[in-house]
């Protein structure tokens, strides 16, 4: 058995951010364990690249605001473009709630503006169809677009420079707990059984990596070496796979993995050049729940299918997804997209909770087990703020930069303690 200080399960953007935050506070002997450090199937690598602080719950607003401030301070390195979010509404009641929540958002310095449909079209000249359906819009100028890969790469390189060890192609096969006596009585502490996996290509050409990540089983022929790591602190940062980890401890997890699909759309940019600076546009979220923004000469567009069943599904539906869900919504709102075409696309996983807010904090009943996962598509947006606050909680016993106690899993025991977010896409 090898004893280490901290084991972080999951090296995605949250796990990497936490490793850096802990190391920056002087914590040493930190090990991050992940089967897929390249991020082929990592949710933070497969998202749409939007970052915003315009949420409805104070803890989500504040952790995202801190993250945005951090991204802005290194905008060139992260490819951060402060080009705003334009959110369109066709329901008067929903827009009334957005108007009320804008007061809270602006208390955090977000500068959110309320727009009429005509003002929204002036903000985004692409919008020239069926505007009579809209009742209003919100414009959040401090939100924007980012390169998630660059952000995660920064967190990881900074953590490695401070001595953090990232164990690639390693899989936590089991978690062992034992009871120890302390001043406050009996408590459970943890150790993890780790398998080093071989024969899994980084590009996943054989499909072996996907098979493991979707079946949660390591074939015997791929088990290279097994070891046990006993740790002072264990943190679950496995995102959509958090439930698999929790199950090894007998902990019921409320998170569900749900597929989300995104595609790149080609269109005639030259025809728009005289009236639209396309590359200057930010994210547009239509009243139909379609979202899109400029991306490398194309439009990146996504849509969450309401009836999508939970599960570890990475299949992309291709042109059918574009033709059924994306193109009709684009063309309905902008005549420029009446003639456009599917270029390519991909799918990734959201880790979705019942209230669509993340889970972070100490796991009740186990003295050294913490967690930070299930942010329902905004792991990149909350990465800096949540990691900073959780690192403070682990090192100092309290979070001073932001109170993340409302994100604790115990809130799900009583529905009145939920943190419902309706602006997730």
Task: Give the residue extent of every domain in the chain.
Answer: 2-46+149-254+355-417, 82-144+258-352
Read off the DSSP letter of residue 279.
G
pLDDT band of 185, cuts 50, 70, 90? low
Separation CA 421–CA 10 (nearest Å): 25
CB of 395 within 8 A of CB of 407?
no
Query: Per-residue pLDDT tens for 322-376?
Result: 999 999 999 999 999 999 999 999 999 999 999 999 999 999 989 899 999 999 9
Read off the DSSP letter of residue 318.
T
CB of 148 within 8 A of CB of 12?
no
C-beta neighbour count of 86 within 10 angstroms: 25
Residue 184: predicted pLDDT: 60
Separation CA 121–CA 137 (nearest Å): 10
Locate 221 and state its tokens. 């022929």
C-alpha angle 105-108-109 in degrees, rounded to nearest 5? 95
CA dihedral 112, 56, 385, 6 (to 10 degrees): -170
pTM (global) more than 0.75: yes
Specify the CATH number for 2-46+149-254+355-417; select among 3.60.15.10, 3.50.50.60, 3.40.50.80, 3.20.20.70.
3.50.50.60
The top-level CATH class assigned to 82-144+258-352 is alpha beta
Q: What is the mean pLDDT of residues 45-49?
A: 92
Q: What is the mean pLDDT of residues 76-101?
A: 97
Residue 186: predicted pLDDT: 61
Query: Per-residue pLDDT tens for 266-310?
Result: 998 877 766 788 888 999 999 999 999 999 889 999 999 999 999
Residue 180: predicted pLDDT: 77
Residue 313: predicted pLDDT: 96
Name which of 38, 35, 16 is nearest 152 in CA terms.
16
Locate 330 and state its tokens. 């684009």
Locate 295 and state its tokens. 């991306």
Query: Per-residue pLDDT tens for 204-261?
Result: 888 999 999 999 999 999 999 999 999 999 999 999 999 999 999 999 899 999 999 9
Q: Is the pLDDT of residue 80 over 90?
A: yes
Residue 85: predicted pLDDT: 98
């Amino acid at each position: 058995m090898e004893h280490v200080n901290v084991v972080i399960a999951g090296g995605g953007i949250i796990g990497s951010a936490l490793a850096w935050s802990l190391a920056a506070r002087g914590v040493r002997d930190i090990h991050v364990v992940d089967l897929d450090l390249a991020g082929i199937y990592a949710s933070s690598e497969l998202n749409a690249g939007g970052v915003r602080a315009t949420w409805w719950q104070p803890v989500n607003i504040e952790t995202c605001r801190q993250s945005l401030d951090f991204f802005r301070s290194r905008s060139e390195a992260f490819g951060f473009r402060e080009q705003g979010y334009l959110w369109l509404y066709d329901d008067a009641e929903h827009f009334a709630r957005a108007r009320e929540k804008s007061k809270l958002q602006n208390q955090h310095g977000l500068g959110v503006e309320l727009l009429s449909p005509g003002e929204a079209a002036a903000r985004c000249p692409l919008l020239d169809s069926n505007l009579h359906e809209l009742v209003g819009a919100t414009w959040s100028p401090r939100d924007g677009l980012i390169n998630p890969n660059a952000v995660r790469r920064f967190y990881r390189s900074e953590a490695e420079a401070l001595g953090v060890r990232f164990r690639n192609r390693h899989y936590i096969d089991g978690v062992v707990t034992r009871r120890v006596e302390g001043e406050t009585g009996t408590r459970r502490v943890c150790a993890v059984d780790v398998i080093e996996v071989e024969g899994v290509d980084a590009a996943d050409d054989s499909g072996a990596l996907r098979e493991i990540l979707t079946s949660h089983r390591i074939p015997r022929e791929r088990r290279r070496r097994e070891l046990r790591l006993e740790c002072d602190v264990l943190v679950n940062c496995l995102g959509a796979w958090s439930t698999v980890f929790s199950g090894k401890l007998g902990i019921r997890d409320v998170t569900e993995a749900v597929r989300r699909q995104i595609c790149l759309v080609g269109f005639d940019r030259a025809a728009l050049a005289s009236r639209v600076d396309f590359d200057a546009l930010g994210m547009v979220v239509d009243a139909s729940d379609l979202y899109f923004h400029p991306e490398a000469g194309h439009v990146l567009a996504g849509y969450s299918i309401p009836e999508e069943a939970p599960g570890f599904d990475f299949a992309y539906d291709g042109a059918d997804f574009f033709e059924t869900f994306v193109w009709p919504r684009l063309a309905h709102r902008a005549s420029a997209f009446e003639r456009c075409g599917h270029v390519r696309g991909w799918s990734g996983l959201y880790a979705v909770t019942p209230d669509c807010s993340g889970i972070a904090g100490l796991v009740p009943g186990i003295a050294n087990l913490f967690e930070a996962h299930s942010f329902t598509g905004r792991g990149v947006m909350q990465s800096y703020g949540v990691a900073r606050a959780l690192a403070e909680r682990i090192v100092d016993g309290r979070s001073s930069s932001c109170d993340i106690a409302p994100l604790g899993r115990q809130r799900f025991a009583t529905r009145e303690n939920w943190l419902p977010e309706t602006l997730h896409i």
